[in-house]
Amino acid sequence: MCGIAGLALSDPSAHPDEALLARMTDSIAHRGPDDRTLHCVGPFGLGFRRLSIIDPAGGRQPLFNEERDVVVIMNGELYNFRELREELVAKGHRFRTGSDAEVLVHLYEEHGEALVDRLVGMYAFALLDVRAGKNRIVLARDRLGIKPLYWTFGPEGLAFGSEAKVVLEAGMTPRELRPEALLDYLVQGYTGGANSAWSGVQRLPPSGVLVFEPAAGRPPRVERTWDLPTDALRPAATDEEILDLFDTVVSDRLVADVPLGAFLSGGVDSTAVVTSMKHVSGAAPIVCSVGFDERSHDELDVARRTAERLGAVHHTAVLRADPALALETLPWHFDEPLADPSTVPTYLVSKMAREHVTVALSGDGGDETFAGYRRYVHDAAENRLRARVGPLGRALARAIGPRYPKLDWAPRFLRGRTFLTNVGDDPARAYFRSVTRIDRGDALALLHPDVVQRLGAHDPFDAFAEHYRRPAIDDPLYRAQYADFHTYLPDQILAKVDRASMAVSLEARVPILDHRFVERFAPLPASEKIHGGRGKHAFRRALRSRVPGDVLDATKRGFDTPLAAWIRGPLAAPVASAIEELPKDWFRVDALRAAYDEHRAGRRDHGRLLWSLLVLEAWRVRHAVRGLEA
């Protein structure tokens, strides 16, 4: 787990500025505090910050082939590197280190860009091929987008890095916000897709491969090399099949030459991971659990029982989820605005775990793979009702829904506006509403008229709908999961986990997001995922032989933060200040003030919107954003 940076100049006879490359590399020193290296050859420059995990003594990067004309730097881990290494040695390749990343240069010699098809892991790497007649750079990102990779291209050439701040440091792009990103952020709470929030800064998509050849005189070529199944659902799985593959992906992630442990909450996924660690290794796992004194509920007692049952080495702490982190520490590490308040506890959990381990396994991905979110259950119910009431019933719901009072503060059973609107709406639009914060129209009403005019017909829904409708499978649940795997998961969940953990130099591994596991179980029939009004049916069923009922049958709990209390308490003044300080040519300040007053008076719940504004202003100031893209 490390950080990478680099330059590839358009002029094949030019040479990178090493001082600039050093600044780019050092901007992500937190990702790799153990070492820094720079490597320049021809028009290419590579920068590397190392967090030593495998072969700490000998695995210093960059790594080379035998002739030293194929070079690689990598952020992440390859879990099948031992098998690949044996295969490559049998073909005559010679290795100099025990590093997992060294297999990349030799695998590239055998397969070229198609080497990514052979990899199991989480990674973002840059590979130089300076052999005679080649002179190219290849960038690649893992299939699910666990590890990030940003890039930009202009007349000077290509700049790239593990975080957007690396690319910004290269000076090839203005420090400006895209107008479309502003609307996307208000609606979704994050900016997603190939375009980052920054003008001119791109994200290499999950499973993306970028190839740039300076002498060719053309821009980089980008392709996606993998996708979830889109042709048909997969057959139901036996409990044995689920557990066997689960143990395989967990076992693969237990390789490390530094202390390794896991996050343990009281939830199904983290409990399953820790239980599997004990099952496959026979050793007592190291686990880290936290409670938060602001929470109305706490899972620490459940985690303690699980740790005792497994004989785990258990580190615990009760922490205060300090919202000031969102104003001070986190804006630097989150190069793009991310309005998920759980960034605060995720950072605190990572910081606590880093006191005991360098690598921590996480349960992220279980909800997307086995449809564990409550919104999947609600969406399935809406789809069933939509089918039963027919066109006339849908038209009636469509007419009544928008006229039904919002009742934000009422009990859930009285809040029927969204449900009626969804039943009458297109299934893609209805599900999109469940993963957004406010409607496009409400967001536009907050923006300055000049910004609204510039946005034109831009609608965040369009990118989401493209993913939702891509599978040729008549299954709304799988369509929703598929869309989440391409939007919400990489751009919000995995971005949050990566930035929060790497901010404290902790490697987080996510076994449930092994592509082999996801390929097999995400496309299960809906009956294998939702049963009796609950998600994750097949996974819970398989775990019955290992995990007690007080975990499997408990009500699902998110990683909560006391957002409403924060905004009425310690964040009241900062929110009010942010509203006044946000650029007047971005927003209608009167509309922001009205939302703040309504929230404070208890007439409407604008908590998530106000938090979004606070995070946006903290990010804008910390990164010296100069304005909207010209």
In this predicted structure, the answer to whether residue 329 has a pLDDT above a threshold of 80 is yes
What does the pLDDT read at residue 509? 98
Burial zone of 610 (CB within 10 Å; 0-12 exposed, 13-18 middle, 19+ buried):
buried
**pLDDT tens, position by position, 454-463:** 999 999 999 9
Structure tokens, 23: 């600044």
Residues marked active site are found at 2
Within this chain, domains 2-224 and 239-370+486-552 share the same CATH topology: no
* Cβ-proximal residues to 442 (8 Å cutoff; 6+ apart), any chain: none
What does the pLDDT read at residue 415? 56
In this predicted structure, the answer to whether residue 439 has a pLDDT above a threshold of 90 is yes
Crossing angle of helices 607-622/589-601, nearest 10°? 130
Q: Where does 130-264 show beta strands of DSSP type E? A: 136-141, 150-154, 157-161, 176-177, 202-203, 208-212, 221-224, 260-263
Question: What integer best gives the mean pLDDT of the chain?
Answer: 93
pLDDT band at 406; cut points 50, 70, 90: low
Residue in this structure with the two tokens 């893992």, named with its chain if needed: 142
**pLDDT tens, position by position, 29-54:** 999 999 999 999 999 999 999 999 98
Return phi, psi of residue 266, to 5°: -95, 10
Looking at this protein, which amino acid is placed at residue 454?
A: R
pLDDT band at 251; cut points 50, 70, 90: very high
Helix, coil or strand: residue 2: strand
Q: Mean pLDDT throughout 421-445?
A: 91
pTM confidence score: 0.95
d(CA 548, CA 175): 52
Structure tokens, 117: 């098809």
In this predicted structure, the answer to whether residue 1 has a pLDDT above a threshold of 70 is no
What is the SS3 assignment for 266-327? CCHHHHHHHHHHHHHHCCCCEEEEEEECCCCCCCHHHHHHHHHHHCCEEEEEEECCCHHHHC
In this predicted structure, the answer to whether residue 365 has a pLDDT above a threshold of 60 is yes
What does the pLDDT read at residue 559? 65
**pLDDT tens, position by position, 461-477:** 999 999 999 999 999 99
Per residue in 192-231, is it b (16+ CB within 10 Å) or e — as a string? bbebbbbbbbbbbbbbbbbbbbbeeeeebebeeeeebbee
Q: Please state the domain extents for the chain.
A: 2-224, 239-370+486-552
d(CA 364, CA 270): 8
Residue 261 and residue 526 in contact, taking contact as beta carbons nearer than 8 Å: no
Reference 39, options 108, 128, 112; nearest CA is: 128
- CATH code for the domain defined by 239-370+486-552: 3.40.50.620
**pLDDT tens, position by position, 313-326:** 999 998 887 888 88
**pLDDT tens, position by position, 170-179:** 999 999 999 9
Structure tokens, 605: 């719940």
- CATH code for the domain defined by 2-224: 3.60.20.10
Cβ neighbour number for residue 429 with a 10 Å cutoff: 14
d(CA 86, CA 64): 17
pLDDT band at 408; cut points 50, 70, 90: low
In this predicted structure, the answer to whether residue 421 has a pLDDT above a threshold of 80 is no
pLDDT band at 594; cut points 50, 70, 90: very high
In this predicted structure, the answer to whether residue 296 has a pLDDT above a threshold of 60 is no
